[in-house]
């Protein structure tokens, strides 16, 4: 874990988690509270994404993983899904240059086959353009579900066993990990969920085995640097034991 730079943070002793994952929840409730359509909440949520990526880079976080759209979110009313796809296009087109300029490396996890061709191209293009960047590893989970991810890994490993490429005994935790969409990323140290809900909603089930959870009451569109700092402070006070005795 890196120590926060004195310029960027309130508590010099606090340790910054290397990998922060966030379930960005509460856009709909934010809009409802203002008597606005849900889309307005999603739109405001994009600004929170921008603020959070900037703050994460400043705070010295190496990996930031954002849950943007789940496999189950496809079940929402068609009009909401259409609006979300429009916003995704808008975000990818508008933010890519800035993210690249800020040396952010983008990776997308989730089932890309369900997106329209033009969105798939934008996602591929964002990864391609930023592949050599080094400041912050930004992973965005889109059309992502951890059960689907694990199922796909099992399917791939089963194929390898069936074809005689590997034996059943060669199936290890490492092998499973290497077949997940997050292969190569460290496990999240801290997972934040906004909006007061206290559940994981099919996010990073395998990877979060020893992750510290922080639930914040703030609705995602209101999330800013101060909430991230507060969650990191909370994390810094945790004793992580990983099953051992300390």
Q: Which residues bind Mg ion (CB under 5 A)?
A: 25
Taking only Cα atoms into account, the Rg of the chain, rounded to an integer number of angstroms, comes to 19
- Residue of minimal CB distance from ligand IPE? 28
Looking at beta carbons only, is 112 or 199 nearer to ligand IPE? 199
d(CA 217, CA 195): 5
Helix (H, G, I), strand (E, B) or coil at 71: helix
Note the Cα 183 to chain centre separation in Å: 14
Q: Are 61 and 14 in contact (CB under 8 A)?
A: no
Taking the complex as a whole, how short is the minimal distance between the CB of residue 214 and ligand IPE, in angstroms?
Answer: 15
Tokens 């959870």 belong to 213
Looking at beta carbons only, is 9 or 27 nearer to Mg ion? 27
Taking the complex as a whole, how short is the minimal distance between the CB of residue 132 and ligand IPE, in angstroms?
Answer: 28
Looking at beta carbons only, is 79 or 151 nearer to Mg ion? 79
Q: Which of 66, 72, 49, 29 is nearest to 219 (CA)?
A: 29
Residue 71 touches which member of ligand IPE, Mg ion, none, C-beta under 5-8 Å by kind: none
Residue 16 touches which member of Mg ion, ligand IPE, none, C-beta under 5-8 Å by kind: none
179 an active-site residue? Answer: no
Residue 110 touches which member of ligand IPE, Mg ion, none, C-beta under 5-8 Å by kind: none
d(CA 228, CA 52): 8
Taking the complex as a whole, how short is the minimal distance between the CB of residue 246 and Mg ion, in angstroms?
Answer: 36
Looking at beta carbons only, is 25 or 62 nearer to ligand IPE? 25
Taking the complex as a whole, how short is the minimal distance between the CB of residue 67 and ligand IPE, in angstroms?
Answer: 4
Residues that bind ligand IPE (CB under 6 A): 23-29, 67-70, 73, 84, 195, 197, 199, 201, 220
- Residue of minimal CB distance from Mg ion? 25
Which member of 11, 27, 58, 73 is catalytic? 73
Taking the complex as a whole, how short is the minimal distance between the CB of residue 242 and ligand IPE, in angstroms?
Answer: 27
Looking at beta carbons only, is 4 or 142 nearer to ligand IPE? 142
- Give the distance between the most distant pair of CA atoms in the chain: 60
| DSSP secondary structure letters along 138-161 | EEEEEEE-HHHHHHHHHHHHHHHH
- Tell me the pairing of strands 15-16 and 2-3: antiparallel
- φ and ψ at 135, to 5 degrees? -75, -50
Q: What is the DSSP code (8-state) at residue 211? A: -
174 an active-site residue? Answer: no
Active-site residues, by number, are 25, 73
């Amino acid at each position: 874990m890196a120590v926060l730079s004195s310029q960027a943070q309130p508590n010099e002793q606090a340790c910054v988690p290397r990998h922060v994952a966030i379930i960005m929840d509460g856009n709909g409730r934010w809009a409802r509270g203002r008597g606005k359509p849900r889309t307005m909440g999603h739109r405001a949520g994009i600004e929170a994404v921008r603020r959070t990526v900037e703050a994460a880079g400043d705070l010295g976080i190496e990996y930031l993983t954002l849950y943007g759209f789940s496999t189950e979110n496809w079940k929402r009313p068609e009009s909401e899904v259409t609006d979300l796809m429009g916003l995704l296009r808008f975000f990818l087109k508008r933010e890519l240059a800035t993210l690249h300029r800020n040396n952010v490396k983008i990776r997308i996890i989730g089932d890309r086959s369900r997106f329209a061709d033009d969105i798939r191209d934008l996602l591929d293009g964002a990864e391609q353009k930023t592949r050599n960047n080094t400041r912050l590893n930004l992973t965005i989970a889109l059309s992502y579900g951890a059960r689907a991810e694990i199922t796909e890994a099992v399917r791939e490993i089963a194929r390898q066993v069936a074809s005689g490429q590997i034996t059943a005994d060669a199936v290890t935790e490492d092998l499973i990990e290497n077949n997940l969409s997050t292969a190569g990323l460290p496990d999240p140290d801290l997972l934040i969920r906004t909006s007061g809900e206290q559940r994981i909603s099919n996010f990073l089930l395998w990877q979060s085995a020893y992750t510290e959870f922080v639930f914040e009451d703030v609705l995602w569109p209101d999330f800013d640097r101060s909430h991230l700092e507060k969650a990191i402070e909370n994390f810094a006070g945790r004793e992580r034991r990983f099953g051992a005795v300390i």
